[in-house]
Structure 1
Amino acid sequence: MRIIPMLYRISFLIYLMLATTSCSATQELNLQSQKQTEHSKKLLSIFDKTWLRAKEKLAVKSSDEVFSQKNYQHLKSKVDTLENLEELKSLINAFLGSLNVSHTQFITTEDQDYYFFQSLFKANEVSNPKHYHIGLQYQKSLEGYRIRSVLDSYPAELAGLKKGDLIIKNNNEVFSPMSFKSTKPHTLFVKRGQDNFSVNVSPVFENIHYSMLNASKASKKIIKQNGHRIGYFHLWSGTNALFEKELKQSMLEDFKDCDSIILDIRDGYGGAWYSYLDPFYKDRESFYAFTIVQKNGDRSTNTAPQQTNHNYTNKPLVLITNSGSRSGKEAIAYQLKKDKRAVIVGEPTGGYFTIGEINFLEETDFLLYLGIAHLELDGKRIENKGVLPDVYVDYSTAPYPKRDPQLLKALEIAEKIAQ
């Protein structure tokens, strides 16, 4: 009889197949578990590095209390549940944001700021590293990404996108600022007030730092209004000598035949300092003194190196500010207001007035920006306060008007004070 041995062999083969399948499944689960463990360890390692560096350097009162073991364990327990770096970023920034120290943020490659800071602190040139974008700054909310500012002559402006627009999707996928992967046309689905519409945009491949320089150049114009010539220039950043060069070229050459000037310092980045004021003064005698207040309370006060400016403009000046006017740009607003050298129009500046330091430039997927010391101007605190405008004009809440109300008011004043 061969039936029993045959059945035995078949049963044995089935057993081997099941055992092999079970073994493979177990190995796969073990591999997944190992990968998950390694990933969790990496996130925890990044969190620990961030925690220790922030505890060491962040200019916050009661540092030991803020960075206590209790707070550490509380956040660490949440890190153990996270799946990716973006979730870790949200956790870290929620904690850092609660401390109210400006220039303090955990930044990843999914943020435009990552490429800006790489350009500013590592590449030391405005053009690198490159990334895809359409010339916007954003404000993230629960609804998605709302447009905070639109760069002059970039794809977003050319497509008709405006401040306050909410971008919902990019090519039928959830939108994020870094969701552009080529210069080919992308279809954006946008909400403006109660209206929904779509636009086609073709991204550029360049660093946002370089784009802001180009936008500053493109913003330059002479507006003719009721017989007056009004020069307009938007200084998008003061973080490279090339921006200062464009500012001086505009004020001292391009607008030399104008009756008045509008300088727009809304949004963009900060960085501007004493030399950005030189086009408006014959010397630096009245310039502010700035005091550095270290984390331990030590103070040191510095004044502007004195010089005489043989080439400067005394034309009537209007300055436009908003909450996106931050850091060194706030020093510009402070000085021009202090001397009544300009009429300031718009909203209070942002009150982002600490010395910021970039950490972990050697990493490839994240940076840590920390406010390591406070700054005062003439003994006055700007941090979390800002500089108030002479003429307040709101442009920060919905529904957003079709035309820029701050620019319209600036033009009205520039016409009144024109020479």
Structure 2
Amino acid sequence: MQNHLHLILLFVIATLLHITVAIAQTSPKSSTDTQQNNTTKEGLPLKELRLFTSVFDHIRRAYVDPISDQQLLENAIKGMLQEIDPHSAYLNADSFQQLQSNTHGNFSGVGIEIGKEGEFIKIIAPIDGTPAQKAGLQAGDLIIKLNQKSTQGKSLDEASKLIRGPIGSSIVFTIMRKGVDKPFDITVIRDTIHSLSVRQKVIDDTIGYIRISQFQVTTGKDFVAAIQQLRTSHPTLNGLIIDLRNNPGGLLQASVQVVDSLINKGTIVYTEGRLDTSNTHFKATEGDDSEGLPIVVLINGGSASASEIVAGALQDQKRALIMGTRTFGKGSVQTILPIDGDKGIKLTTARYFTPNGRSIQAQGIEPDIIVKPATITEIKAQERIRETDLNKHLKNTDDRKKQAKMPDKEKAINHHTEDNQLFEAINLLKGLAILNQNKESTAQ
């Protein structure tokens, strides 16, 4: 790396010397020629290159402590990337390796996706089942200190270095949270993160539920397997809930695979950028693994990037109802470009658009049905006299065996009251199932 950075510096200095000598040796030119000489043959601005080398030289000679050329040039590279947007970054060898591990679902740390908000670090979402989630870190939390060190002005790479550490060691997050007056501390114990991105279960024997915590290399394949497992174990499912809440995103290709498994045709997403490789149109292939099940997708402010691709595509293709609150609003694509083999840069290379041409950047996905998080409190009904309490009431002549088979609805309702958004999704799918049954009965 040091040799590579020295080459950059030598190139800059050599370029400046070459141009300076060339200008000195030639006679005065017209204004047009002078403008042409203000840039190098490679298109680099001469004035800014001179400024860079001047600042570089001042720091080398006058900074209070000795600092290596390597560190100065690496800082310059970091500055170029972190100043253009919140998601572009320089990846040193450790960060590059960490990123590759994250996409495969195995890494060490606390288990959060972070981004920049102003001068500070913001939690996009904690990953399911990780130390961060168990300790109480939430999507939208602003990290103002890490182990009492201010995060103000730090890059994502610098913050990641502070967050990572030996397994079993602790780190203290000082958090600002919406609705809380003062900053407060949360201590998290680092651990090895084995993140399964897809989990499934059946709710009340009638509704399939699939939770996608992030989009990894195997997420598309695991999602299809989850649907197949649900349909095999419960062939008479009435609907499917896909939970993307607090899913920070991940691989674009994985999100495309998830949508492709649910629609038969049409656009899934398309990207636009300056490179030819950044202009891509993803279309669905034939086949719906859910076999047309009604779908509700749950989203919130922690649903970002690849999650928004899934929600936006299913919304535009009218394949699912989107429920919850507005998503994060990250509508850009980052490409990992390797440098020197073990390092790289994460560079924003494209914007993505939903099938209807919507850009989600800084806007997010608005749900079809807004359901804000809330606590459901059961209000017990007053004891009232019912027909059965009246003297000489008429007996019900229906078969008692039929009555015995009726489900305990109150028990089923209480089981889901801790999550009101999930509760509403369940009610919606149950209501749709009843309407469809009534239509079939009427048609007969």
- Confirm or deny a common fold (TM above 0.5): yes
Task: Tell me what 2:262 maps to.
Answer: 280
Question: Quick check: 2:332–2:350 contact (8 Å CA) kept in 1?
Answer: no
Please report how far the alpha carbon of residue 359 of structure 1 lies from its aligned counterpart in structure 2 after TM superposition.
Answer: 2.2
Q: Secondary structure, in 3 states, of the residue corresponding to 1:335?
A: helix
**1:393-412 matches, cutoff 5 A:** 408-409=420-421, 411-412=423-424
Question: Quick check: 1:346–1:391 contact (8 Å CA) kept in 2?
Answer: no
Indicate yes or no: 2:175 matched with 1:201: no
Question: Quick check: 2:297–2:311 contact (8 Å CA) kept in 1?
Answer: no
- TM-score, with normalisation over the residues of structure 1? 0.60
Question: Quick check: 2:170–2:189 contact (8 Å CA) kept in 1?
Answer: yes
Question: Quick check: 2:200–2:208 contact (8 Å CA) kept in 1?
Answer: no
Q: Which amino acid aligns with 2:175?
A: K
Please report how far the alpha carbon of residue 342 of structure 1 lies from its aligned counterpart in structure 2 after TM superposition.
Answer: 1.5
Task: Tell me what 1:368 maps to.
Answer: 345
Pick the aligned partner of 2:329 from 336, 340, 350: 350
Pick the aligned partner of 2:366 from 385, 389, 408: 389
Question: Quick check: 2:269–2:313 contact (8 Å CA) kept in 1?
Answer: no
Structure 2: tracts of 5 or more residues without a match? 13-40, 61-66, 152-158, 377-418, 434-444
Please report how far the alpha carbon of residue 389 of structure 1 lies from its aligned counterpart in structure 2 after TM superposition.
Answer: 1.8
- In 1, distance between residues paired with 2:282 and 2:290? 22
Q: Deviations over 1:299-353 (max 9, x none)?
A: 9775636433465351332241547521x54442332112221222432563534
Task: Tell me what 2:160 maps to.
Answer: 177
Question: Quick check: 1:89–1:107 contact (8 Å CA) kept in 2?
Answer: no
Task: Tell me what 2:394 maps to.
Answer: none
Question: Quick check: 1:135–1:150 contact (8 Å CA) kept in 2?
Answer: yes
- In 1, distance between residues paired with 2:10 and 2:144? 31
Please report how far the alpha carbon of residue 261 of structure 1 lies from its aligned counterpart in structure 2 after TM superposition.
Answer: 0.8
Question: Quick check: 1:171–1:187 contact (8 Å CA) kept in 2?
Answer: yes
Pick the aligned partner of 2:221 from 231, 238, 245: 245
Question: Quick check: 1:351–1:384 contact (8 Å CA) kept in 2?
Answer: yes
**Which structure's CA Rg is the greater one?**
2
Task: Tell me what 1:234 maps to.
Answer: 212
- In 2, distance between residues paired with 1:199 and 1:138? 16
Identity of counterpart residues, as a percentage? 18
Q: CA 1:149–1:244 in structure 2 vs 1: closer, same or farther (change >3 Å)?
A: same
Q: Deviations over 1:11-68 (max 9, x none)?
A: xxxxxxxxxxxxxxxxxxxxxxxxxxx89964964997xxxxxxxxxxxxxxx99964
Q: Which amino acid aligns with 1:151?
A: I
User: Which structure would you say has the larger RCO, counting Cα contacts within 8 Å and 6 or more residues apart?
Assistant: 1
**1:147-226 matches, cutoff 5 A:** 147-167=123-143, 176-179=159-162, 180-192=164-176, 193-195=180-182, 197-205=184-192, 211=194, 213-214=195-196, 216-217=197-198, 220-221=200-201
Task: Tell me what 2:91 maps to.
Answer: 107
Question: Quick check: 1:106–1:367 contact (8 Å CA) kept in 2?
Answer: yes
Q: CA 1:115–1:379 in structure 2 vs 1: closer, same or farther (change >3 Å)?
A: same
Q: Which amino acid aligns with 2:241?
A: I
- In 2, distance between residues paired with 1:140 and 1:47? 33
Please report how far the alpha carbon of residue 236 of structure 1 lies from its aligned counterpart in structure 2 after TM superposition.
Answer: 0.6
RMSD: 4.7
Q: Secondary structure, in 3 states, of the residue corresponding to 1:358?
A: strand
Instruction: Judge which range, 172-181 or 328-337, deviates more.
Output: 172-181
Question: Quick check: 1:273–1:332 contact (8 Å CA) kept in 2?
Answer: yes
- In 2, distance between residues paired with 1:198 and 1:230? 38
Q: Which amino acid aligns with 1:194?
A: D
Q: Deviations over 1:274-307 (max 9, x none)?
A: 43124423x2x234474766547x9977563643
Aligned residue pairs, count = 331
Q: Which amino acid aligns with 1:177?
A: S
Q: Deviations over 1:72-131 (max 9, x none)?
A: 55556555549546743552134432xxxx9643334575xx3354348xxxx8267x5x
Q: Which amino acid aligns with 1:262?
A: I
- In 2, distance between residues paired with 1:363 and 1:264? 34
- In 1, distance between residues paired with 2:10 and 2:125? 32
Q: CA 1:244–1:87 in structure 2 vs 1: closer, same or farther (change >3 Å)?
A: same
Q: Which amino acid aligns with 2:79?
A: L
Please report how far the alpha carbon of residue 363 of structure 1 lies from its aligned counterpart in structure 2 after TM superposition.
Answer: 4.6
Q: Which amino acid aligns with 2:250?
A: Y
- In 2, distance between residues paired with 1:301 and 1:148? 26
- In 2, distance between residues paired with 1:187 and 1:303? 41
